[in-house]
Amino acid sequence: MILLLIPHLGGGGAERVAALLACGFNRARYEVHVGLVTQTEAAQELPAWVTVHRLGARRVRRAGLAVLRLMWILRPDVVLSGMAHLNKVVLLLRPLFPRNTRVLVRQNGQVSADAGPGSWKLYPRADAIICQTMAMAAELTAVAGSDRAMRVLPNPVDVDGIRLLARQAAPQWGGPGPHILAVGRLAGEKGFDLLLQAFASLRSEFPQADLTILGEGRERPALEMLAWVLGVGSSVRMPGHVAYPAKWYPEATLFVLSSRHEGLPNALLEAAAGGLPIVATRASAGLMSLIEGQPGVWVAREASAAGIAEALHEAIQMVKIHPRFAHGWLEPFRLDAALAQYEALIEEQLSEAMR
């Protein structure tokens, strides 16, 4: 039995990874359960063969008793925790879990942007620590003090499903553009304030440009106010959380990642799956190891309004109307390839448990 633990299925990158793993694991080999720590409503994204447990905790840090109870009810062979702040709860409880349960944790964000050094002392309790890039693994090894359990596995990305959805999507854009797309939680680390400033400066040369930011979060009022102060409010759309961003890919001129810091954002991987030209900040060393110097990718010299504006200007000047790129660097992230690597790790852990 495999138990995937995630706070909720709210549509972020970590949640999407958990859903893809749950749906994609070999049904003939594994009994798959998903524990939604803070979610109380039904989870429509998961198929009938996945058993869902909604723990309904008010906060992740207060969910210890509910998580422990679920562990002893299910007694899973492998538990995979899929978000950094939940990992620490799971690892704190590890000594109280059933004896043969193997504990895997997935680091979903940039290590240096997470909690202070003391928060990583629990990570050596994990049987495996999953990172998405070698750079992330090196950074986590430095703060956790050991690389014994470190594993580098790609995020699963449903490349074929994204491309099919994009082909079937109704038009979402109007006007000549260029049409600029961004996706992410409306939070400070995503740098959407920088993007709005960059977009405002871009409009002097491209007066019919428009910007759509898909996502929701606490920064919405401030971002909406900033857009109007900059004089671009009528050219900026923020539709809120969107379950399938790929529906916005047709006719989008390019995708922009404006983050001040990131681990390996699924929004960018999915945009690459859709073939979009990409403008990105140097949000992490791991991200740069994948995209820097690649065709169809323009990297800002710094995470600033001026740096993003410069990269946007260069990209728009270079691309033709609605160009698409193969983004061959995405191949290891394809769903079947990533699932195979996760299942290989699970088999390794099951073998270890039997020794």
Which amino acid is it at 210? D
Judgement on whether residues 194 and 299 belong to the same structural domain of the protein: yes
Q: How far apart are CA 326 and CA 159, in angstroms?
A: 11
Residue 137 burial (10 A CB sphere; 0-12, 13-18, 19+): buried
pLDDT of residue 110: 64
In this model, does residue 287 exceed pLDDT 80?
yes
**In 51-179, which residue ranges form alpha helices assigned H by DSSP?**
64-74, 84-93, 134-144, 159-168
Judgement on whether residues 167 and 239 belong to the same structural domain of the protein: yes
**DSSP label at residue 3:** E
Which amino acid is it at 112? S
How many domains does the chain contain in total? 2
Q: What is the DSSP pairing of strand 210-214 with strand 236-240?
A: parallel
| CA atoms within 13 Å, Cβ hemisphere of 296 | 22
Q: What is the DSSP pairing of strand 2-6 with strand 78-81?
A: parallel
Q: How far apart are CA 59 and CA 85, in angstroms?
A: 10
Q: Which two tokens stand for residue 39?
A: 């979610």
Judgement on whether residues 167 and 42 belong to the same structural domain of the protein: no
Q: What is the mean pLDDT of residues 3-21?
A: 87
Q: How far apart are CA 289 and CA 235, in angstroms?
A: 34
Q: Which helix (H) or strand (E) holds 80?
A: strand 78-81
Judgement on whether residues 175 and 312 belong to the same structural domain of the protein: yes
Judgement on whether residues 147 and 171 belong to the same structural domain of the protein: no
DSSP result, 84-112:
HHHHHHHHHHGGGS-TT-EEEEE--S-GG
C-alpha to C-alpha distances, 92 to 6, 36, 127, nearest whole angstrom: 16, 18, 14
pLDDT band at 42 (very low <50, low <70, confident <90, very high): low
* pLDDT tens-digit map of 113-139: 555 555 677 888 999 999 988 888 888
Weakest-pLDDT range from 28-32, 59-63, 235-239, 265-269 = 59-63
Higher pLDDT, 191 or 16: 191
Would you say 131 and 287 are in contact if contact means Cβ atoms under 8 Å apart? no
pLDDT of residue 116: 52
Domain that holds residue 185: 159-332
* pLDDT tens-digit map of 266-278: 999 999 999 999 9
pLDDT of residue 166: 94
pLDDT band at 84 (very low <50, low <70, confident <90, very high): confident
Whole-model pTM over 0.75: yes
**pLDDT, the chain, mean:** 91
Q: What is the DSSP pairing of strand 179-183 with strand 102-106?
A: unpaired
pLDDT of residue 44: 62
Judgement on whether residues 305 and 270 belong to the same structural domain of the protein: yes
pLDDT band at 333 (very low <50, low <70, confident <90, very high): very high
Tell the residue number behind the tokens 């504006």, with chain if given.
309
Judgement on whether residues 27 and 67 belong to the same structural domain of the protein: yes
| Percent over 70 (pLDDT), the chain | 95
Q: What is the CATH number of the domain that holds 53?
A: 3.40.50.2000
pLDDT of residue 112: 59
Judgement on whether residues 113 and 261 belong to the same structural domain of the protein: no
Judgement on whether residues 145 and 199 belong to the same structural domain of the protein: no
Q: Which helix (H) or strand (E) holds 36?
A: strand 32-36
Q: How far apart are CA 118 and CA 185, in angstroms?
A: 27
- β-bridge partners, 181: 212, 255
C-alpha to C-alpha distances, 327 to 149, 252, 276, 311, nearest whole angstrom: 31, 16, 9, 18
Q: How far apart are CA 155 and CA 137, in angstroms?
A: 14
Q: How far apart are CA 160 and CA 274, in angstroms?
A: 9
Judgement on whether residues 131 and 11 belong to the same structural domain of the protein: yes
Q: Which two tokens stand for residue 104?
A: 């895997």
Judgement on whether residues 322 and 349 belong to the same structural domain of the protein: no
Judgement on whether residues 171 and 307 belong to the same structural domain of the protein: yes
Q: How far apart are CA 114 and CA 119, in angstroms?
A: 9
* pLDDT tens-digit map of 167-215: 999 999 999 999 999 999 999 999 999 999 999 999 999 999 999 999 9
Q: What is the mean pLDDT of residues 339-355?
A: 91
